[in-house]
Amino acid sequence: MNSTLNGRISAFAKAGSLLTSYLNGKLGESQEAHWEERIDTALQTAEAKNPWFTQENLEYCLQQWSEALQQEKLKAWLTPYHLQNISPKTIAIVAAGNIPLVGLHDVMTVILTGHRALIKVSGNDDVLLPLILDIATHFLPELADSYVFTKEKLEDYDAVIATGSDNTARYFEYYFGNKPHIIRKNRNSIAVLTGEESIEDMIALSEDVFRYFGLGCRSVSHLKVPRGYNFDRFFNGMYSKRDLINNRKYLNNYDYNKAVYLMSEFDCLDNEFLIIKQEENSYTSPIASLGYSYYDDLGEIASEISSNQEELQCVVSSAETRDKIGLESLKAPQFVDFGMTQQPQLSDYADGVDTVDFLIGLS
């Protein structure tokens, strides 16, 4: 790796180390103690601007990034790529705001590959990303030349990475279609259950369902279960997250969706904080609810996943079930263990599209 790339990797790694010190309560004892109040304020501001960003979820997010931003992991991620002869371009990034720091991977990838990021953040998540970049820039001041935030119309860029809904993707295609681009649409994640899972598996699955209130594309929103499946163990596992009902916004969504389902006379199962409803034609589900559908054999699941690759981000299952389904060669969706959807590695690219390859190709 060249010295410039090593310097940038080092800056982000030092940012990760600083976050680790903060989360461990040791930042105040270090030479970087002045960052403690800045991070405290940022977390409070982020929650005040977006109540879905609870302190627990924000700290969880920082924990995941502190573990990802390690020198060895960053180098291991980028070493396989040929980054020696990059011709710097300006990459417009339209970041989503559904979960905290969802745009950081794109921004960091652009910066580390030697390009310049022109960043348009969502109003739902416009506090933490500037914070992380400020920390990294503190350790490498010239990093400031590698990114800029804008609230204005995007202009003077060479390529685009834009993330949004199916609806916004149509606008993205219209505005950015004449430039090299990655445009991401809605995706959902599913869990494939067989009935052989342990209660520990179901407790881990509750993390995939409820982390970030289920607002991420990696959040499980639909269950595939064998015909005749007994949901008792599933609900026992979900019970570990029962305190979510004390969150006002979550409670409001639960009450609203329950009323809609009752008035519509849907056949639902309910444990007083999560509603599940049979749904054959959609992987999406409102907050505080899940859809489920039956299968007769895992061959059906393999065929369904293969046919709906562009709708799915993750498939959660046991290793044994995953082996029976097959499909290891798919770039997307990603197959993951119970409890792991919100712990992606640096090389786990959204929608299975290799962002580094895309950026290298621009040169």
Q: Could you tell me the domains of the chain?
A: 3-186 (3.40.605.10), 188-336 (3.40.309.10)
- Which amino acid is present at 173? E
Q: What is the pLDDT of residues 170-220, one digit of tens each?
A: 999 988 989 999 999 999 999 999 999 999 999 999 999 999 999 999 999
193 touches 234 (CB < 8 A): yes
Identify the pLDDT of residue 150.
Answer: 96
Query: Sorting pLDDT into bands at 50, 70 and 90, what band is 280?
Result: confident
- Which amino acid is present at 64? Q
Name the average pLDDT for the chain. Answer: 95
Quick one: how far is CA 173 from the chain centroid?
A: 22
Identify the pLDDT of residue 128.
Answer: 97
d(CA 206, CA 237): 7
Quick one: how far is CA 234 from the chain centroid?
A: 24
Quickly list H helices, 149-198: 166-176
d(CA 306, CA 127): 38
Contacting residues for 87 by C-beta, under 8 A, at least 6 apart: 362, 363
71-78 vs 3-23: helix crossing angle, rounded to 10: 140
SS3 89: coil
DSSP labels, 191-203: EE--S---HHHHH
Single pTM value for the model: 0.95
Contacting residues for 319 by C-beta, under 8 A, at least 6 apart: 337
Q: What is the pLDDT of residues 52-77, one digit of tens each?
A: 999 999 999 999 999 999 999 999 99
